[in-house]
Amino acid sequence: MLALGIDPGTAICGYGVVDLQGSHLKVLDYGAIETSPILSDAERLVIIHHEIDVLIKKYKPELVGVELLFFNKNVRTAMTVGQARGVILLAAAQNNVNLVEFTPLQVKQSVVGYGKATKEQVIYMTQRLLNLPSKPHPDDVADALAVAICTVHSVNVRRDLACAKSPLSTARIQSCWGGKL
């Protein structure tokens, strides 16, 4: 399962590409799309859309995971993050890639096992789960990698639940678990 995780933003938009083979997580790419504050909002959104489109075309992820916008006291920040999310959703739709969205609590629960984990705990576990030599930086990149991990984990959980509900048969074992229990 190959997933592109994205932490949306207009100044810094973090991304991470993660592959899950069996129970082994492998990071393929990660980084940040950074835009200059001297650009207009529209110019920044064009850059983000273009770069996300390039990533989708390059890696051909099965899913794109995006962090949901949560309530923010700063309305301007919430609006710009919402605009960045919009062009990310557009890029996924234009490339016919399914998109899943997660709250920060869901991402923390998936990566750390605790929905109220600190940013430092998420960074630490992301680094360990992906066997990275150093902490992903900036924090937006760590968040995007965490979203990618959450994306592949959630798909496996959904698949396993669906398979567990189906009648036991050889076909079920082969289709759900690749012939292995």
- Sort residue 92 into left (φ over 0), alpha (ψ -120 to 50) or beta: alpha
Q: Which of 15-19, 73-77, 85-89, 125-129 has the lowest mean pLDDT?
A: 73-77
139's tokens: 């924090």
pLDDT band at 141 (very low <50, low <70, confident <90, very high): very high
Compute the distance between CA of residue 165 and CA of residue 1 in angstroms, rounded to an integer. 22
The number of distinct structural domains making up the chain is 1
Q: What is the pLDDT of residue 110?
A: 93
8 Å CB contact between 111 and 121: no
8 Å CB contact between 116 and 101: no
64's tokens: 């794109």
- Catalytic residues, by residue number, are 7, 67, 140
Q: Which residues contact 23 (CB under 8 A, 6 or more apart)?
A: none
**Domain extent at residue 102:** 2-177
pLDDT band at 154 (very low <50, low <70, confident <90, very high): confident
Position 173 pLDDT exceeds 90: no
pLDDT, mean of residues 126-145: 95
Q: What is the pLDDT of residue 22?
A: 86
92's tokens: 């996924």
Q: What is the pLDDT of residue 157?
A: 47
Q: What is the CATH number of the domain that holds 82?
A: 3.30.420.10
pLDDT band at 81 (very low <50, low <70, confident <90, very high): confident
Position 171 pLDDT exceeds 50: no
Query: Tell me: the pLDDT tens digits for 33-68?
Result: 999 999 999 999 999 999 999 999 999 999 999 988
Position 161 pLDDT exceeds 60: no
